[in-house]
Amino acid sequence: MAVRECDVLIIGAGPAGLAAALYASRAKLSTVVLDKGTPGGQVRTTWSMENYPGFARGMTGPELMDRFVDHAKEFGAEIVRGDVATVSFGGELKIVTTQKGEEYRARAVIVAPGAEPRTLGLPGERELRGKGVSYCATCDADFFEELDVVVIGNGDAAVEEAMYLTKFVNSATMIVVHDEGILDATAIIRDRAFKNPKMKWAWNSVVEEIRGDGIVESVVIKNIKTNERTELEANGVFVFVGTVPKTDFLKGHVDMDKRGYVIANELMETSADGVYCAGDARVKYLRQVITAAADGAIAAVAAEKYIHEEEGFREMVLDRENPVMVAFWSPTSQVSLDFLPAVERIAEQRAGKLNLVKIDIYKNQRVAGRYGITEAPTMAFFRKGQLVEKVCWPTNESELASVADKVIGG
């Protein structure tokens, strides 16, 4: 089995993964991007990118992603093809294996596998995707100015997207499987839609086929009560039946919501130390190229900080021959500030036998959390890489000195 090591392994080469690769490699971290297909993600299916800042008209999705790829490679990122089979995030080195048996070991991992629109598998849907078939009103609405479109779906997201489309289109016809007047959308959204003069409705109906010669020209609609089929002319079809995050390989390794989206904080940190999530696969408000790229940048910077913190903690604490007293303190805690001189005296009196390391608990929450330290001041004593004693809020200098001598003598 081939084994490779790197500082940062990025899973997914969409805009999030490629932006992360750019930032990580530019920070002089050895960076590998693993993707099972052609780099670019969903953006490769987008005919034109008009809402990515700085490009206005004339930039296609594939062209933009090619620039992302070139930019990341310019700073040394390596993009390799591989389909993830298993992951193991519990150790100091995170291990990812591919379907072909290749093994990658990284100090930090950024998962950016993306999400994909839930498709219906209709005849013509795949062939006309990006040629009138769309899954994103925010991305593509302005291509359909003064034209007629069909919207499939009737939940909150579908109705809201349809109303957004009416800012541009001549009409938006929603194909609804329910009886007239019944939508899966909430009442307030439903009422707004019914008042919108550009909204049209096809009740008790489903779309059976999307037709067109190179571009969408019509849809075939079936009435589920009468089985009558009609052909409705349309210039575009918008499908809003949800998205599916590509996160199956992460189940049981990081926290996810019930839909399978990864839960990550504003630093893109997941529930696993040293593992970050960026882009459409995480729980977030807006899924666009610009937000994916922003996620990737944040994740890479956070991963760099994590790697350096872990490296520093290992050098200063875990790999030391002598016992180490780690003072977890906070500049916002007056008790911490008042007690630090005593801590320094204890260390000075035991020079050569006890090392002192001071850590700001709020700037290093991951390290503190790993050892169950939640308040400052807390003194943690390590011997040969292991936590052996912990003293929270020492009552006085002599109490702490006694613990220090016990650790040294142990």
pLDDT, one tens digit per residue, over 122-134 is: 999 999 998 999 9
Structure token digits, residue 289:
């190229």
Helix (H, G, I), strand (E, B) or coil at 181: coil
Query: Among residues of the chain, what percentage have pLDDT more than 90?
Result: 78
Looking at every residue in the chain, the average pLDDT score rounds to: 93
> Mean pLDDT, to the nearest integer, of 245-265?
96
Q: Which of 7, 35, 140, 280 is catalytic?
A: 140
Q: Which of 35, 139, 277, 280 is catalytic?
A: 139
Query: Alpha-carbon distance 316 to 16, whole Å?
Result: 34
Q: What is the pLDDT of residue 169?
A: 96
Asked if residue 148 has pLDDT above 70, the reply is yes
Closest-CA residue to 89 (of 59, 120, 111): 111
Query: Alpha-carbon distance 250 to 128, whole Å?
Result: 32
Asked if residue 72 has pLDDT above 90, the reply is yes
328-374 pLDDT, tens per residue? 999 998 988 999 999 999 999 999 999 999 999 988 888 898 899 98
Asked if residue 56 has pLDDT above 80, the reply is no
Closest-CA residue to 89 (of 73, 71, 107): 107
C-alpha distances out from residue 38 to 12, 248, 287, Å: 10, 20, 20
Q: What is the pLDDT of residue 146?
A: 95
Burial class of 180 by CB neighbour count within 10 A (0 to 12, 13 to 18, 19+): exposed
Closest-CA residue to 204 (of 185, 223, 221, 184): 223
Query: Alpha-carbon distance 11 to 252, whole Å?
Result: 17
Going by pLDDT thresholds of 50, 70 and 90, the confidence category of residue 140 is confident
Cβ pair 247, 255 in contact under 8 A? no
> Mean pLDDT, to the nearest integer, of 54-60?
75
Give all strands (DSSP E) within 49-146, no chain letters: 78-81, 84-88, 94-98, 103-111, 115-117, 133-134
> Mean pLDDT, to the nearest integer, of 177-200?
93
In the residue annotation, 277 being an active-site residue is answered as: no
Interhelix angle for 15-26 vs 289-313, to 10°?
40
Q: What is the pLDDT of residue 257?
A: 97
Cβ pair 281, 112 in contact under 8 A? yes
Asked if residue 242 has pLDDT above 70, the reply is yes
Q: Which residues of 303-341 are buried (b: 16+ CB within 10 A; e: fewer)?
A: bbbbbeebeebeebbeebeebbbbbbbbeeeeebeebee
Domains and CATH numbers, the chain: 3-117+243-313 (3.50.50.60), 133-239 (3.50.50.60), 321-409 (3.40.30.10)
152-166 pLDDT, tens per residue? 999 888 898 899 999
Q: What is the pLDDT of residue 157?
A: 80
Q: Which of 66, 136, 148, 184 is catalytic?
A: 136
In the residue annotation, 136 being an active-site residue is answered as: yes
Cβ pair 383, 407 in contact under 8 A? yes
In the residue annotation, 140 being an active-site residue is answered as: yes
Give all strands (DSSP E) within 83-176, no chain letters: 84-88, 94-98, 103-111, 115-117, 133-134, 148-152, 171-175
Asked if residue 262 has pLDDT above 90, the reply is yes
Asked if residue 48 has pLDDT above 70, the reply is no
Question: Does 323 sit behind a cis peptide bond, omega within 30 degrees of 0 on the bond before it?
Answer: no
Asked if residue 207 has pLDDT above 70, the reply is yes
Q: What is the pLDDT of residue 395?
A: 74
Cβ pair 15, 65 in contact under 8 A? yes
> Mean pLDDT, to the nearest integer, of 207-226?
96
Helix (H, G, I), strand (E, B) or coil at 57: coil
Query: Alpha-carbon distance 395 to 398, whole Å?
Result: 9
Helix (H, G, I), strand (E, B) or coil at 11: strand
Q: What is the pTM of this model?
A: 0.78
Query: Alpha-carbon distance 18 to 353, whole Å?
Result: 48
Instruction: Give the distance from CA 314 to its chain's centroid.
Output: 28
Asked if residue 115 has pLDDT above 80, the reply is yes
Asked if residue 299 has pLDDT above 90, the reply is yes
Structure token digits, residue 227:
């089985």
Cβ pair 139, 286 in contact under 8 A? no
Query: Among residues of the chain, what percentage have pLDDT more than 70?
Result: 98
